[in-house]
Amino acid sequence: MYGDNSKPVFPTEDALTMIRLALAEDVHSGDVTSLWTIPAEQKEHARLIAKEDGVIAGLPVIELVFRELRANVQVTFHCQDGDVLKKGDLIAELDGGTRDLLTGERTLLNFIQQLSGVATVAHRFQEVLKVGKTKVLDTRKTIPGFRTMQKYAVRVGGGSNHRMGLFDMVLVKDNHIAACGGVLEALEVVKKNNVQNLMVEMEVENLEDLKKLLHKGVDVIMLDNMSNEMMAAALRIIRESGDKVLVEGSGNMTLERAKEIATLGLDFISVGALTHSVKALDISMRI
């Protein structure tokens, strides 16, 4: 749901689908190095450690990976998803067969590092925005197959979710508008077809189109690729009109820019960088 920042629920079934794919490409017919160098009966104690500051996300993956490997590994957690970690913090302890620990190591780290990177960036954005009322939203610019997990991680980090996909909300963008012949023409077609009563968001790139949409029953207006000054003018126009429409800012929303516009009065900013180019959080497993 648009703007949802309620307590996130880990998407276990989607995670299992991706874990199975990951193990199939990594382990395939067997971990030959571990099988050849480590006795079958050998057991070890391992620790997951944060190697930099950040927000942890994706911890349920650990037990799911070892379940798929049919490995008897006991996991003791020292934190939970959403916790803010410092470099050197202990994340979890693992006890089990050495072969199993090493075979599952890379897959579980790939998931947790990526999801923690997303949660960390979402947290950083929301921290700079908390001086005002603006919330940070993700987008559909996600790693294919990882959308529900990445959107989970955004909420773990304190951000909110935009639509899940093309099916659960109407978002009329510039190409739709151009194809329909204008913002009002596009909105009219949407209203005629919106028998599901889906939330409707309209993108605008100028103040003229913005004015046309006021009091037309739009749920959200996206101010796309506007300067800070133009966004401020757009918000004044909306406030003076009395329309209670939600307002989202989009386009080149860096952390630095978020600081600049945190008190403008936007309800949301949408940030593709939360998911499409995030740096994985550095986490290691030590035996």
192: annotated active-site residue: no
CA 167 to each of CA 51, 114, 164: distance values in angstroms, whole numbers, following the listed order = 39, 26, 8
For residue 90, what is the enclosing H or E element? Answer: strand 90-97
Cβ partners under 8 Å of residue 229, min gap 6:
none
Q: What is the model's pLDDT at position 96? A: 98
Please, what's the b/e burial string for 240-262 (b: 16 or more CB within 10 A of its CB; e: otherwise)? eeebebbbbbbbebeeebbeebb
Which amino acid is residue 21, in one-letter code? L
> What average pLDDT does the chain have?
97
Give me the mean pLDDT over the 89-117 stretch.
Answer: 98
241-256 tens-digit pLDDT: 999 999 999 999 999 9
Q: Using DSSP bridges, classify how beta strands 135-137 and 268-270 pair: parallel, antiparallel or unpaired.
A: parallel
32-66 tens-digit pLDDT: 999 999 999 999 999 999 999 999 999 999 999 99
126-277: what fold?
Answer: TIM Barrel (3.20.20)
Nearest to 162 by CA among 203, 111, 211, 216: 203
Catalytic residue among 106, 212, 257, 259: 106
68: annotated active-site residue: no
Catalytic residue among 43, 47, 141, 257: 141
What stretch(es) of the chain map to CATH 3.20.20.70?
Answer: 126-277
- What is the greatest pairwise CA distance in the chain? 74
81: annotated active-site residue: no
* CA dihedral of 4, 121, 221, 245, whole degrees rounded to 10: 50
- What's the pLDDT band for 21 if we cut at 50, 70, 90? very high
1 pLDDT above the threshold of 80: no
Beta bridge partners of 284: 49
So what's the architecture of 12-120+279-286 in CATH? Alpha-Beta Complex (3.90)
Q: What is the model's pLDDT at position 5? A: 78
The reported pTM is: 0.96
Is 33 annotated to bind ligand? no
Give me the mean pLDDT over the 91-98 stretch.
Answer: 98
Is 252 annotated to bind ligand? yes
CA 1 to each of CA 42, 70, 168, 286: distance values in angstroms, whole numbers, following the listed order = 48, 36, 8, 39
Is 254 annotated to bind ligand? no
Is 239 annotated to bind ligand? no
Question: Alpha-carbon distance 107 to 120, whole Å?
Answer: 20
224: annotated active-site residue: yes
67: annotated active-site residue: no
Nearest to 283 by CA among 96, 87, 98: 87
Catalytic residue among 224, 243, 267, 282: 224
Catalytic residue among 43, 51, 173, 212: 173
Is 224 annotated to bind ligand? yes
What stretch(es) of the chain map to CATH 3.90.1170.20?
Answer: 12-120+279-286
